[in-house]
Amino acid sequence: MPIEASGTVRFGLIGLGLHGNRYAGHLSADVPGARLVAVCRRDRKAGETWAAAEGVRYHADYRDLLADPGVDTVAVVTTPNLHLEIVRAAVSSGKHVLVEKPLAVDGAAAAQIAGAVEGSGITVMVAHTLRWNSVVRTLRRHVETIAPLHTVSLSQRMEPSRLPWQADPAIAGGGNILHTGVHLFDLLRLLTGEEVEGVSCETHRVRNPGLEDAFGALMRLSSGRTIALVDSSKATRSRSGRIELVGERGQLVGDHVHGFALRISGYERIDLLPPPPVPTVRETLRAFVQALRKGEPPPVTVVDGMRAVEIADACYRSAAEGRPSRVERRDI
């Protein structure tokens, strides 16, 4: 369904949990050119109450929301085991889609989504929201000042998840690799402009009894000259998001949680002065709406989302087999 450049993008929101409420808040208040008109939540009583308070339509079944003629576009903010079914149905219904990361529980399901999108004329964007972080955007603008790159290190630290479903393999599809690691895998591709060819990964369960909550991976990139270290822990009472890019002409160092970005040349440390932090879900929504209204490809494509999940697959294979694993990239 085409979106008029001057028209309002009418959103249906599928999923109204903790993260879905963030989407709802932004769509209701601060995404120019967008309006939330309908929501879907499995808890009927809570969904009806919320919809009545906000003056939007409530649908108990996502299929009914997709059939709603007043909805142009859907934001899918559900558990990842439902993404394949919902996104394919949305594409078949002619609705544009913004889908939360990870795109799918594994590369095969991600490829099915990408195949459904290919040639459909429907815009599907994956919400890799960290791309809109102020530190990430600042470091990306300065990569050429230290290029060519030869070493990259990315890490994420955070507290254990409070969401019960993230301990259930049948719903979550994976642990820290799939739910936090994909952010880092996407950043690795974004900041280097390279693909990941192979990984060697180890995992650990610290606080999550059902799935890995800590991992470390050594990654080989497509240029053959760049290696990357990617690691994450969701088992600490602290938060950080370190980024280090090392090139022949210096280093870039930052932390996307603590809001600093530096360039190091010799012994000199230069503050890159990143702008104040912004709500990344809001910025992701704004970028998606802008792409729809301009008729342009989205800044994070369904293939980008698929590539991140394919890297996650390789990490899981490597950890299970105790040896390096090649990343199996799929053609669409």
Query: pLDDT for 311-330, tens place per residue?
Result: 999 999 999 999 999 999 99
| CA quadruple 29, 78, 326, 229: dihedral, nearest 10 | 50
pLDDT digits (tens, 9 = 90+) for 255-289: 999 999 999 999 999 999 999 999 999 999 999 99
Average pLDDT over residues 228-257: 97
Give the span between the Cα atoms of 107 and 313, in whole angstroms.
7
Give the span between the Cα atoms of 178 and 196, in whole angstroms.
16
- Which residue is associated with the tokens 């591709």? 189
Domain ranges of the chain: 9-129+281-297, 131-278+311-326
Burial of residue 275 (CB within 10 Å: 0-12, 13-18, 19+) is exposed
> Does the pLDDT of residue 1 top 60, yes or no?
no
Q: Of 19, 36, 18, nearest to 27 (Cα)?
A: 36
Q: Of 45, 49, 51, nearest to 14 (Cα)?
A: 51
C-beta separation of 220 from 239 below 8 A: no
Give the span between the Cα atoms of 181 and 183, in whole angstroms.
5
> Does the pLDDT of residue 161 top 70, yes or no?
yes
Burial of residue 170 (CB within 10 Å: 0-12, 13-18, 19+) is exposed
φ, ψ of residue 215 to 5 degrees: the values are -155, 160
pLDDT of residue 198: 98
Q: Of 84, 83, 93, 41, nearest to 62 (Cα)?
A: 41
> Does the pLDDT of residue 4 top 70, yes or no?
no
- Which residue is associated with the tokens 């008729």? 295
> What is the enclosing helix (H) or strand (E) of 18?
helix 18-29
The amino acid that residue 230 corresponds to is V
Give the span between the Cα atoms of 116 and 92, in whole angstroms.
8
Indicate the CATH number for domain 9-129+281-297.
3.40.50.720
Residue 224: HSE in the Cβ half-sphere, 13 Å Cα cutoff: 0
pLDDT digits (tens, 9 = 90+) for 205-228: 998 888 999 999 999 999 999 999
Supply 125's token pair: 């964007």
Q: Of 281, 173, 151, nearest to 223 (Cα)?
A: 151
**Domain 131-278+311-326, classified CATH 3.30.360.10, yes or no:** yes
Give the span between the Cα atoms of 57 and 50, in whole angstroms.
10
Supply 18's token pair: 């903790």
